[in-house]
Structure 1
Amino acid sequence: MTVTKGGKTDRHAVIGFDPPLRTFFLQAFMGKSREIWLGTVLEEFLSLEALTEGARSQGYEIEDISRETIIEMTKLAAQPHAPRIGERLGIVR
């Protein structure tokens, strides 16, 4: 998967679904430092579309995601994910 912004590119960006946070996430490094990291908050991006829109709102484009990867992440996101201990104790909301 590739993430671009202006003339910068990360051809090894990471996209996925985090079951404990129940959110899709995106990480891209352009150079030696992290450029963008989305999906760090509980239920921040409930769909790939929302994640893509979040990235675009900051000037990033997500490219080259395989159909198989999209299907796999969508299936994982559709599974029920029970509240974690932090949520049950009221620490995380």
Structure 2
Amino acid sequence: MSRYYVNLHNNGRIDPEAIIGYDRPLRTFFLQGFIPLDSELDEPEIWLGTFLEEFPTLESLVEEARTRGFEIAGLKQADMIAMLAEAGQKHEPSLGERLGWIK
């Protein structure tokens, strides 16, 4: 799993420690941002890419974030290339898929 820090913007707010990456077992790009420090659950305000093959392309993730009012900034070209390279590799089915738990 790759993880890179980006700036996430929403309604004049900025989360300079939002995380974007590629989850190899789920075969999806993901985005997490605006994690409350005082929350008991520490669940992010936005957390995309939690299901199998939910966002198979980086573009689909960015588009979904935009539809929810979030803009991603500060993603370095080298990080983007590394994520795309990881996503472009052949991935074997996960244990859950092989056992029929995930379809």
Which band: TM-score by shorter chain?
over 0.9
- Name the SS for the 1:86 alignment partner: helix
| Root-mean-square deviation over aligned CA pairs | 1.1
Asked whether the equivalents of residues 15 and 24 of structure 1 are also in contact (C-alpha less than 8 Å), the reply is yes
Aligned residues of 1:13 and 1:29 also touching (Cα < 8 A): yes
**2:71 alignment partner, one of 61, 84, 87:** 61
Give me the TM-score of the superposition, normalised by structure 1: 0.94
Q: Give the structure-2-normalised TM-score.
A: 0.86
1:40 aligns with 2:50: yes
Equivalent pairs, count: 93
- 1:3-43 CA-to-partner distances (Å, cap 9, x unmatched) read 01102110111000000000000001254252110000000
- SS of 1:43's partner is coil
Aligned twin of 2:13: 8
Report Cα offsets for 1:30-78 as digits up to 9, x if no partner: 5425211000000000111000001011110011100000000000000
Are the equivalent residues in 2 in contact too, given 1:8–1:30 (CA < 8 A)? no
Distance between the aligned counterparts of 1:79 and 1:72, measured in 2? Answer: 11
Unmatched 5+ residue regions in structure 2?
Answer: 1-5
Q: Which amino acid aligns with 1:53?
A: E
Q: Percent identity?
A: 48
Dislocated runs of 4+, deviation >6 Å = none
